[in-house]
Copies of this chain bind each other. A is one copy, B any other.
Amino acid sequence: MTNIQDIARLAGVSTATVSRVINKRGYVSALTKQKVLEIIKKLDYVPNANAISLKKGKTRQIGIITTLFSPIIIQFVRTFSLIAEKNRFNITLFITNGDPAKEILALEMLRGKQLDGIACLIRSNTWEVIESYTRYGPIVTWQRLQNEHLPSVFMDQFHAYQVGLEHLYAKGYRKILSVYPMSQGLNTKERIRAYSEFAQRYHLITDIFPHFEDKMLVQDGEELATWWLSQKYRPDAIFCANDEVAAGLMTSLKRLGFSIPGDVGILGFDNTEVAHLLDLTTINYPIDQQAENAFFILQNKLNNTSHLLNTLTYKLVERKST
């Protein structure tokens, strides 16, 4: 309602002076400053953010794109928001549900100058489409990618997966089934590579079990239990795509009267809360640091600075499922 001109008129000064007072920029005499602040307070005035954004060409608004709300995504978003707010950026969250059109909506906001940058955690469109939007503002991704326009806070899962496999081997497991997440993702590729290398090194036979991919939900774990039950020759350990799959698998098998790790060892991935709850052995993945890095990358591009990134580390969290 009330704008900078009202303030100027009532304070008997120009809008330029009011602007100076508000932004603490340039010279203003103590007296006029006090007078202006008084009027501002009296009229309950706030600058119109849209006018500022229009004038400055910046909104201090960052978008986060994700297909869904898994525990690990939640943690990423929480940490990212925290650090962003600390730097006076606001977050707009886009849950696409896997709908490419919804993702485009978010990308179009970058194009329409409503967003200064975007963190694309899990994409719905092809990388080509997403990359084509980098000309409108910085975009950072979570999934791994080799692309000079699309920086990524991806962490090499090859090594992390090796750690998990070594743990299973040390525990005496020899018939290990490996269950993978998104079939298209490079994470899955790296995990498969780690598994092959591992199997070769220890002379393990790998092709006795079917290949499971795209298993990411509790329900997938429950279905896995049914599969396990139906086999004559069963794996003695299952390395799950994430903690949710491991949780579904473990609770289902326990319901059927099996003991974990007595009858089969179960290893999760990510170390989310459900792993703690169910005493699942898992791999800790430094989400918080990745989230911070994602923000730093965006911020560096926006301000042309070069804030140093966190060095990422992971480790095995041994509990009672292996």
Contacts and interface: CB of A to CB of B under 8 A. Distances in A.
Contacts of A201: none
A51 B54 contact: yes
B95 A81 contact: yes
B46 A50 contact: no
Interface in A256-274: 273-274
Interface string A83-125: 0010000111111010000100100110111100000000000
Contact of A48 (B54, B91, B94): B54
B112 A47 contact: yes
Contacts of A109: 49, 90
A279 interface: yes
A127 interface: no
A50 B81 CA distance: 23
Contact of A93 (B46, B47, B91, B247): B91
Interface string A35-47: 0000000000011
Interface in A22-71: 46-51, 53-54, 59, 61, 69
Contacts of A279: 255
B92 A105 contact: no
Contacts of A308: none
Interface string A175-199: 0000000000000000000000000
Q: How large is the interface on A (under 10, 10 to 19, 20 to 34, 35 or more residues)?
A: 35 or more
Given A78-B69, A247-B277, A273-B218, A46 B108 contact: yes
B46 A54 contact: no
A61 B77 CA distance: 19
A49 B112 contact: yes
Secondary structure class of chain A's binding surface, majority of residues: helix
A194 B219 CA distance: 36
A248 interface: yes
A15 interface: no
Contacts of A130: none
A114 B247 contact: no
B277 A112 contact: no
A278 interface: yes
Given A69-B78, A74-B69, A92-B91, A50 B273 contact: no
Given A78-B95, A90-B92, A50 B105 contact: no
A277 B255 contact: no
A312 interface: no
Nearest to A70: B74
A59 B78 CA distance: 25
A82 interface: yes
Nearest to A273: B218
The 3 closest A-B pairs by CB, nearest first: A49-B112, A50-B53, A50-B54
Given A54-B54, A91-B92, A91-B93, 9 more contacts: A49-B109, A50-B113, A50-B114, A69-B78, A82-B95, A92-B93, A248-B277, A255-B279, A274-B274
